Amino acid sequence: MVDLRSDTVTRPTAAMRAAMAAAEVGDDVYGEDPTVIALEQRVARLFGHEAALFAPSGSMANQIALQLVVPPAHELLCDANAHVVTYEFGAAAAIGGISTRTWPFAGGQLDVDVIASMIRPDGYWAVPTRAIAVEQTHNMAGGVVIGLDTLRALRGVADAAGAALHCDGARIWHAHVADGVPLAEYGALFDTMSVCLSKGLGAPVGSVVVGSAENIAKARWIRKRMGGGMRQAGILAAAGLYALEHHIDRLADDHARARRLADALAPYGVVDADRVRTNLVLLDLSKTALDAHGLAGRAREQGVLVSVIAPRTVRLITHLDADDAAVDRAIAVLSPLLAA
């Protein structure tokens, strides 16, 4: 099977497993796991922040961060297709008592003036805005990278409003590799970030919340309340440390493979290959006679797995376990299906 449904399907490599097996561990709820502590310090340093907290998933890391920057009965602004409002099952409201309001999705592009115009100050009996969240890279937009200038402008908007800026950086590594922006430069723009080790980086489990020492101390409480305190988690943190060491630069290979997929499938009118800069390829079937479930079903019969993310949209993601031969196979299977 060639599995291009997600970059979460990777399995730890032999070398990663060896690092996990050799990890020194302790009880992390007591703050005694040296490998978790090393991972947290490493990630904080990478992004130029004071502290970080290991979390079991990207969703929990996002939700911990949102609770840090938005008190109950206050508001978060994000785009209508952001992961935090599309795939996290109302957690911001259910767990944090947070209202969310969305700006229209524009393919991952941000209109900073529109966002600025949405901010609601205190004092009008309307829910006051406390934070703005962006996604880098943007999943539903097909791995779009938000440019540094736009992020800087958004930081200005947040500062003017006294609002915090959160980054769902599940794939911030890909933005860093695609645009060559140092991770610390991204870090300097955000109050809180969640960054994921178990997507492109290939670790089996784990995300990290990044922020100030004060916020991360609070985050530890929030994580425990959410049931996310882990014990000998150093085994998992060791995979994350290994991934940071060995799997960031190689993301360029995933990007090149995604671009090759897009170039091969572009003649069928389903993708603008020039928009594919990271590891995601969205196929828009709206100008074909195909629907996404039909295409995915027929590809599966021939051993190629893809994701259906909308009735006429299929997503392909390249990753650590999808080599050149896998991409060749996907092109060979999908091309005749799209041509039919």
Ligand X SMILES: Cc1ncc(COP(=O)(O)O)c(C=O)c1O
Q: Which residues bind ligand X (CB under 6 A)?
A: 57-59, 62, 83, 135, 139, 168, 170, 196, 198, 207
165, 94, 178, 89: which is closest to 133 by C-alpha? 165
39, 85, 25, 21: which is closest to 59 by C-alpha? 85
Smaller CB distance to ligand X: residue 198 or 279?
Answer: 198
Smaller CB distance to ligand X: residue 81 or 129?
Answer: 81
Q: Smallest gap, in angstroms, from Cβ of residue 144 to ligand X?
A: 11
Amino acid at 182: P
Give the tokens for residue 323: 């080599």
Smaller CB distance to ligand X: residue 207 or 278?
Answer: 207
Q: Smallest gap, in angstroms, from Cβ of residue 336 to ligand X?
A: 30
Q: Smallest gap, in angstroms, from Cβ of residue 133 to ligand X?
A: 10
Helix (H) or strand (E) holding 130: strand 129-135
The C-alpha atoms of residue 89 and residue 103 are separated, in whole angstroms, by 19
Q: Smallest gap, in angstroms, from Cβ of residue 10 to ligand X?
A: 13
Smaller CB distance to ligand X: residue 60 or 264?
Answer: 60
Smaller CB distance to ligand X: residue 132 or 196?
Answer: 196
Smaller CB distance to ligand X: residue 20 or 119?
Answer: 20
Residues 6 or more apart from 290 whose CB is under 8 A from it? 312, 337, 338
Amino acid at 31: G
Give the tokens for residue 280: 């995601």
Q: Smallest gap, in angstroms, from Cβ of residue 193 to ligand X?
A: 11
Give the tokens for residue 266: 């572009």
Q: Smallest gap, in angstroms, from Cβ of residue 225 to ligand X?
A: 18
Amino acid at 126: A
Q: Smallest gap, in angstroms, from Cβ of residue 173 to ligand X?
A: 12
The C-alpha atoms of residue 79 and residue 85 are separated, in whole angstroms, by 8
Smaller CB distance to ligand X: residue 78 or 170?
Answer: 170
Q: Smallest gap, in angstroms, from Cβ of residue 1 to ligand X?
A: 20
Find the residue with minimal CB distance to ligand X. 58
Q: Which long-range contacts (CB under 8 A, 24 or more apart) does 9-16 make?
A: 9/319, 9/321, 10/202, 10/319, 10/320, 10/321, 11/204, 11/321, 12/202, 12/203, 12/204, 12/239, 13/202, 13/320, 15/242, 15/246, 16/202, 16/203, 16/239, 16/242, 16/243, 16/246
